[in-house]
Structure 1
Amino acid sequence: MPEVTAPYAPGTPCWVDLAAPDQQAALDFYSGLFGWTGEIGPSETGGYAVCELKGKPVAGIMAAVAMGGQPAPPTVWTTYLTSDDAEATEQAVNSAGGTVLMPVMDVMTIGRMCIAADPTGAVFGVWQPRDFPGAGIVNESGAVIWNELNTTDRDAAGAFYETALGIQSAPMDMEGAEGYFSLSVGGRPVGGMQAMPEGIPEGTPSHWLTYFSVPDTDATVAALQEAGGTVLKSPFHMVAGRMAVVKDPQGAPFALINPKPMNES
């Protein structure tokens, strides 16, 4: 089981969460699809639900509600990048041309966070861990396996993330991955970046896309459709495995992939 036992290095994706209009329906959907367990949390946390797989935290689901005069957040999965100093990262985001959408705030004793957008408009979270480091299991069926930035300006995005968060980008030297960039922290790949894919609906903004690992992409897509989800891109073979891009019943997009074994070409 690929449990996370070491702290996440700054710049590394460490958590994903979903804001859903119907929180309980989202919990039921993802529990059925991935085998997660989770329930609506206490009122002092806004009901935030930490979903678990095999007893380890894998993702969060919260109610999408308007707060402080602000509109309710969109129904999307948000990728959180690790920081050892959220306030310093917030300043770096501003200096590098990004936009802070939600200033740094304490989340009880578990960490500090903010929400920002890069210069191309892709929204992401920043997480400074205290008691809670992030996902306790990754790269296993039902858990996050990849975080991908789809951007309208790859050069601008690459420069921003390196300046603000120390994430380096470089072309992937792999057949079938032409035009795809690796995002690395300390020489270790932690995600990917590409120009906005062909066929994506016109007007789609730059965004981070969460990939969940599954044992059978086609079977999972069928189960998703049976549960009320929709398919944006039907299952297809690509360099890393067999994947699909889908939406949950409330409209949140994400990707599914049955990864190839590391030694399989």
Structure 2
Amino acid sequence: MPIRNEAWPEGTPAWIDCQVDDPAKAAQFYAELFGWEIQDGGPESGGYLMASKAGASAAGIGPKPDSMVDTPSVWTTYFAVADADATAAKVVAAGGQLVAPPFDVMEFGRMFVAADPVGAVFAVWQATGHNGAAVYNEHGAYCWNELHTRDAAAAKAFYAEVFGFTYTDFDFGDGEYVVFTPPTRTESVGGIADESAKPADGIPSYWLVWFQFDDVDTGVARVAELGGRVLQAVADSPAGRSAIIAGPQGEAIGIIDPSKAVGEMPAPNA
């Protein structure tokens, strides 16, 4: 399985975690679904749990901070940076807001939480003792991070200014979709989906974490058994067979099996 033992390149989605009302309940759900091992960080961690696969860090599960107790449970995407404070200044200059200004997480790293100008929340991670996810692109590990936004133009301008992203556009026939590449990488590491034409239904712009799952149909059935629910039914695409599900506390994720791709990927727009 792919294992990373060093800090992720700047601008790469480097870590994921969820903030829930009951971390123990969430840990049980994901351990059953993904085969994760769960480790308690101890009293000094504030109830934060670490999930791993075969000893390699995969994700975090934590309690909601006091400022979030009345908000929905969510998964958060963290972007790797070399300097969290300098990046926070870029976020503000580009029109974003700091939800939680930069702070140290014990000896593990420095981080902050922010919202882009369209309202999507994300986090930033400056690694010291914890590099981020060590396992990725395999069953039970994250494989893609995707922004669903009500204003793609504003979102693209913001992330280009903050992280230096460049974009490649694709036409999937149901709205603009772009993949983004940090200046430190040669390959795309995530996507942005324009949802401005869809009914708002009270759903804000948000970052969606996708996990690789070797048999999505089995995964969806297991989700129901474990008390979760399906938000978007199983479907085929050139990227793979996928579904969007929610855990028992309502936090949404995507699961996808890239080996079950159907059809050809569209060519990039000129």
1:92 is matched with which residue: 90, 93, 105? 90
* 1:208 to 1:200, Cα distance in 2 relative to 1, 3 A: farther
Structure 2 residue aligned with 1:189: 188
Contact 2:232 2:245 (C-alpha < 8 Å) held by counterparts: yes
1:212 offset after TM fit, Å? 0.5
Aligned residue-pair number: 261
Q: 2-side partners of 1:197 and 1:60: how far apart?
A: 31
Structure 1 residue aligned with 2:105: 107
Structure 1 residue aligned with 2:63: 63
Contact 2:111 2:123 (C-alpha < 8 Å) held by counterparts: yes
* 1:77 to 1:175, Cα distance in 2 relative to 1, 3 A: closer
Q: RMSD between aligned alpha carbons?
A: 2.0
Structure 2 residue aligned with 1:229: 228
1:175 offset after TM fit, Å? 6.7
Q: Tell me the SS of whatever aligns to 2:137.
A: coil
Contact 1:17 1:59 (C-alpha < 8 Å) held by counterparts: yes
Q: Does 1:153 align with 2:151?
A: yes
Q: Tell me the SS of whatever aligns to 1:260.
A: helix
* 1:196 to 1:256, Cα distance in 2 relative to 1, 3 A: same
* 1:97 to 1:198, Cα distance in 2 relative to 1, 3 A: closer
Q: Report the TM-score when normalising by structure 2.
A: 0.91
Give structure 1 stretches of 5+ with no counterpart: none
Structure 2 residue aligned with 1:250: 249
Structure 2 residue aligned with 1:259: 258
Contact 2:20 2:63 (C-alpha < 8 Å) held by counterparts: yes
Matches within 5 A, 1:21-40: 21-40=21-40
Amino acid at match of 1:183: F
Structure 1 vs Structure 2: percent identity of aligned residues? 40
Amino acid at match of 2:109: G
Q: 2-side partners of 1:100 and 1:52: how far apart?
A: 29
1:32 offset after TM fit, Å? 0.1
Structure 2 residue aligned with 1:170: 168
Contact 1:177 1:239 (C-alpha < 8 Å) held by counterparts: no
Q: Report the TM-score when normalising by structure 1.
A: 0.93
Amino acid at match of 2:92: N
* 1:84 to 1:261, Cα distance in 2 relative to 1, 3 A: farther
Give structure 2 stretches of 5+ with no counterpart: 265-270
1:176 offset after TM fit, Å? 7.0
1:222 offset after TM fit, Å? 0.3
Amino acid at match of 1:45: S
Q: Does 1:75 align with 2:66?
A: no
Q: 2-side partners of 1:201 and 1:249: how far apart?
A: 24
Q: Structure 1 stretch 190-199 or stretch 4-13: which is displaced more?
A: 190-199
* 1:199 to 1:248, Cα distance in 2 relative to 1, 3 A: farther
